[in-house]
Every structure is written in C-alpha cells, then in structure tokens.
Amino acid sequence: MSELTRLSAAEIAGAIAVGEVSAEEVTRAHLDRIEQVDDVVRAFLHVDTDGALHAARRVDADRAAGRDLGPLAGVPLAMKDVVVTEGLPTTAGSKILEGWIPPYDATITRKIKDAGIVMLGKTNMDEFAMGSSTENSAFHPTHNPWDLGRIPGGSSGGSSAAVSAFEAPLGIGTDTGGSIRQPAAVTGIVGHKPTYGGVSRYGLIAFSSSLDQAGPFGRTVLDAALLHEVMGGHDPCDSTSIPQGVPPVAAAAREGAGADLTGVRVAVVQELGGEGYQPGVLAAFQEAVSTLRGLGATVLEVSCPHFDYALAAYYLIAPSECSSNLARFDGVRYGLRVGDDGVRSLEEVMSLTREAGFGPEVKRRIMIGTYALSSGYYDAYYGQAQKVRTLISRDFAAAFEQADVLVSPSSPFVAFGIGERVDDPMAMYVNDLCTLPASLAGTPAISVPCGLSEGLPVGLQVMAPALADDWCYRVAAAFEAAYVGTNGPLRAPELIGGAA
C-alpha cells in the first residue's frame, strides 16, 4: 500500500486505467500518508477526506461503467489554498479569509474535477502568495521534507512539500515572482510557470494580476506536463487568457526523455549567477550545464543587462497591483470583521479588520504599492517599472534569437532555516533573483532538480519564449533522463520514524 505513494502520477493513472488498483485505494494510501507525516511537514491547511474519497469512487464507478477516463483520472493532487474551491474553505494563507467558504469554483478547480483528478485538500502558502518561504502563512510554517528545520520555499511551499513528501504525486501552485519554481527547487521536485495567459486566472485569489500564473508540480517532468495539459487552455472568464491551445507539453516531455539535445542552443544568462549565489548552487548548476552539453546541446552565454533591475521592477509592480487587489478585504461582504461594537464607524472597522487580518509582509507590500501609485510618484515608480519590464522583455527577445532556451539556477540558495530570514524583507526578496525576469516577461520557465548542495536540493531553471512551454519540458525531460540515469531520482529522506 505504501508503495502507491511512491509512484508517479503517470504510473498511478496507468494502473487505475487497467484495473490494477482502484482510485479509492490510491486515495486512501495518500490520505494515510498525510496522516503519517503531515504533523511534521504541515503542508496541508485543510484535508478534504470525504470529498477526495467521493471523487475517487466516481472514477472507479466510471471505469466500471466502461466510460472513458482522462489521462490523470484517479490521481491525487494537493491544491494551493489560493485557488478558490466551492464548498471548501479557502484562506489564501490569511486570517482575513479564515472560515470563508467560496460559492464558486476556480476554472482550474473545475478542470481538475472534470478530469477525475482527486483533490486531497488545500495546502499552506505565504499569505496572499507574498513570500519565498511559506513562513508568512498566518497559520503555521510548512517544513521542508529534506530537512524539517528548513523552509520549503514559497509562496507555494505547501503544495511543493506535499509532493516532495509523497503526500500527493501532483500539486498545483501559483507563480508570481517564482513561487512555483523556487519551492520546487528547494524541495527537489519539478515545477513549471506557464506562459502568462496560458492557464486561467479565474478563481485565483489575485496577488499581482499581470504576473500571477497557476502551474503544475510533479516529481517527474512528465507528471508536471500531464497536469499542465489538464489545467491549461483558453478561458472566456479570464480576459487575459490567451486564445492559443495548450502547447504539446506531454509529447515534448516524452520526446525529451530520449535525452537527445542535438542542435538545441542553450544559453547561460550571465546576470543570473555570480556574487551572492551559494557556491554549492553554482557548482550544481555548472554540472547541469555540462550534462546538457553532453546531451548534444550547444551551450553559449548571453547577457541580459536589464535582468539586474528585475527585482526592483518586480517589487514595485507586484505591490502596486496587490495594494489594489487586496482592497476588497474590508470586513463588509465576507471574511473577518473586527471592532464592530455598534459605536465605531465603518472606516474604523475596516481599518481594524485589515490590521488584524493581514500579516506584516502583506501590510508592507500594500503600503509600498500605495506609495508607488500615488499621484506624483507614479511616473518615477510604477510607470518606470513598467518600462523596465519592456526592456527585460527585449533582453529575452534578443537572447532567444541566439538560443532556443535560457538556463540558470532556479534560486541563489538552497533551503534556509525556518526563522533565518523572516525579519529581513530584502534578504527574503533575493530568493527570487533568478525567477523574476521570466515572470516580468510573461515567458514560460520550469525548475527541474539538478543535484544537491550540502545535502539539499538545487534546481535548474529552463526558460523558453512565450508560448513555447514545450521547449521547457523537452529540455527539462532530457536533463532529467540523464541525471536520473546517472544518479537515480532525487527523493526526500524517509520521514516516518525519522528525525528532523
């Protein structure tokens, strides 16, 4: 039974499809695993036992009735609590939404359900997706399965840890500045940020509208690709949803597994490395680049000078948009209301509610955003940041004339200790140095495990032009085949009976 939790999503789906195992068995195995390890990993905010078993039984009934099953039918999944799920508590990691039960499903929630995927529950995250360690969750931190005293990355740390700890083979996160790729990297799994607009944002509690994208987590590149194909596609409920269909990412992953990158031009981005990056991370990255060369890729170097300004631009654009997106949390229509004693005015109640309901990082970003959009400051801050964004896109465009994909470490650091950086916002922000440029340009990027440093996972980031997500998967799959072929798969240490 416990081996079921070690299988990939593709393997589980295959076994269910041929009747080797029932969906209900698979779900029970994973629910058991959650019970066994989640009190130390603490990936989940809410486990939906009844809902999961119900969904699993539906798949089993469909199979028994001879109906067609989707490619991931019966496979369990951990859903980041930023995604709205009808009838299930959705908090976005915040006290201000504690107890809120959405009356509707996000588009991706509906797609998951329609595909017969079994949602096990909602996972922990940095509050409103703001953070790189999941320590900003209003409820509790999540612990990295590789070392329980360390962070799992953020903001999608819960989903990432869940997949890494074998609580689910699939996870969904959201990536605004790196919040899928960085957690994937530091927990040793695969995570992908799709081309902006490639996956619907309808039902994603908004942090930074022009940057947010939901994406897949898996322990293999193929698993992530299969989930991507379920999640992606045009959505008429999302005006920023692109009309193009999902790129052929699963096919690309399968093709890539042939580990042949002859003729593929891979460029190392000069600016995403060097000072400030941990030596172990750089070493693992260099090895990964060698591996790619060994697979037949042509490796070159490019300079994207405006990437140096990505952090500054991001920490203006994202707070500006979030200061507006989070204005709706005011205690009037749903969520927390504080201080309504019959005497205080609405303005006072709103202010007390937001003060009590938001954590410090959220407040900081709201205030920065309010400042950057203020009359008199707009041009110098928000306006200027949007121009820098154009320059970053141009850097990408120029680079992609010389290369098919760009590569870098997914993060300058491996997982750090819980509590280590939480009091220093800037020290936290630099976790995103590698991931921010693709976020700002809206181009796709994947993180695939490429080794260990000090016993902790390091991720290789592969970036492709807009709409070319399949290139990310192809190169990542090729690398994965080579790496796993040599080193075996990266697996988090055994947690049951194990110490932190």
Partner 1 sequence: MEFPGVWPVGRLDFQAVPDHTVDSSTARISRAEVAHLARLARLAVTEEELDVFAGQLDVILGSVARVGEVAAADIEPTTHAVPLRNVLRPDEVGPCLDRSIVLAQAPAVEDNRFRVPRILDDEQ
Partner 2 sequence: MTVTVEDVVARYEPVIGLETHVELSTASKMFCSCATTFGAEPNTQICPVCLGLPGSLPVANAAAIESTIRIGLALNCSIATWCRFARKNYFYPDMPKNFQISQYDEPLCVDGYLDVEVSGRSYRIGIERVHLEEDTGKNTHVGQSGRIHGADYSLIDYNRAGIPLVEIVTKPVPDTGSAAPEVARGYVTELRDILRTLGVSDVRMEQGSLRCDVNTSLNAPGEPWGIRTETKNVNSLRSVERAVRSEMIRQAAVLAAGQRVVQETRHFLETTGDTRPGRSKEEATDYRYFPEPDLVPLAPDPSWVERLRAELPELPAVHRARIRNRLGVSAEDMQQMANAGVVDLVATTVEAGAPVTEARNWWLGYLAQKANERDIEPADLPITPAQVARIVELVGAGTLSVGLARQAVDGALDTGEDIDAVVAAKGLRIVSDANALAVAADEAIAANPDIAAKVRSGKVAAVGPLVGAVMKATRGQADAAAVRELLLERLGAGAATGDT
Active site residues: 80, 155, 179
Contact region for partner 1 (CB under 8 A) — 19-27, 59-67, 266-274, 325-333?
A: 325-333
- Cβ closest to partner 2, residue 226 vs residue 317: 317
Q: Cβ–Cβ contacts within 10 Å for residue 43, how many?
A: 31
Is residue 62 within the footprint of partner 2 (CB under 8 A)?
no
Q: Which of residues 64-123 bind partner 1 (CB under 8 A)?
A: 100-101, 103-104
Is residue 286 within the footprint of partner 1 (CB under 8 A)?
no
- Amino acid at position 137, single letter: S
CA distances from 235 to 43, 71, 114, 136 (A): 29, 21, 15, 31
Q: Cβ–Cβ contacts within 10 Å for residue 433, how many?
A: 26
With tokens 């504690």, the residue in question is 98
368 binds, among partner 2, partner 1, none (CB under 5 to 8 A by kind): partner 1
The angle at the Cα of 280, spanning 277 to 284, to the nearest 5 degrees, equals 105
- What sign does the dihedral 475-479-480-485 (CA atoms) show? positive
Q: Which contiguous run of DSSP H or E holds residue 40?
A: helix 23-41
Contact 44, 91 (CB under 8 A): no
Least distance (Å) between residue 329 CB and partner 1: 10
316 binds, among partner 2, partner 1, none (CB under 5 to 8 A by kind): partner 1
Q: Which of residues 369-388 bind partner 2 (CB under 8 A)?
A: 370, 373-375, 378, 382
Least distance (Å) between residue 73 CB and partner 2: 26
The angle at the Cα of 238, spanning 234 to 241, to the nearest 5 degrees, equals 40
Is residue 480 within the footprint of partner 2 (CB under 8 A)?
no
Considering only 355, 455, 489, 493, the residue that binds partner 1 (CB under 8 A) is 355
425 binds, among partner 1, partner 2, none (CB under 5 to 8 A by kind): partner 1
Is residue 236 within the footprint of partner 2 (CB under 8 A)?
yes
Is residue 38 within the footprint of partner 2 (CB under 8 A)?
no
| Exposure on the CB side of residue 458, measured as CA atoms within 13 A | 24
- Cβ closest to partner 2, residue 219 vs residue 365: 365
Number of H helices, E strands in the chain: 16, 11
Nearest CA-CA partner of 204 in 346, 61, 102, 56: 102
202 binds, among partner 1, partner 2, none (CB under 5 to 8 A by kind): partner 2
- Cβ closest to partner 1, residue 114 vs residue 340: 340
Is residue 381 within the footprint of partner 1 (CB under 8 A)?
yes
Considering only 111, 192, 306, 421, the residue that binds partner 1 (CB under 8 A) is 306
Contact 419, 394 (CB under 8 A): no
x/- binding map, residues 308-347, to partner 2, per CB under 8 A?
------------xx-xx--xxxx-xxx-----------xx
Q: Which two tokens mark 492?
A: 């988090």
Q: Which of residues 425-464 bind partner 2 (CB under 8 A)?
A: none
Contact region for partner 1 (CB under 8 A) — 139-147, 233-241, 288-296, 472-480?
A: 233-241
Which residues on adjacent β-strands are paired with residue 199?
Answer: 232
Alpha carbons 458 and 290: distance in angstroms, whole number: 15
- Cβ closest to partner 1, residue 2 vs residue 390: 390
- What sign does the dihedral 497-141-99-59 (CA atoms) show? negative
Backbone phi, psi, residue 256, to 5°: -60, -30
Q: Which two tokens mark 393?
A: 């896109």
Q: Which of residues 159-218 bind partner 1 (CB under 8 A)?
A: 195-197, 210
- Amino acid at position 311, single letter: L
The binding site for partner 2 (CB under 8 A) comprises: 83-84, 90, 92, 97, 100, 102-104, 106, 201-206, 208-210, 236-240, 320-321, 323-324, 327-330, 332-334, 346-347, 350, 370, 373-375, 378, 382
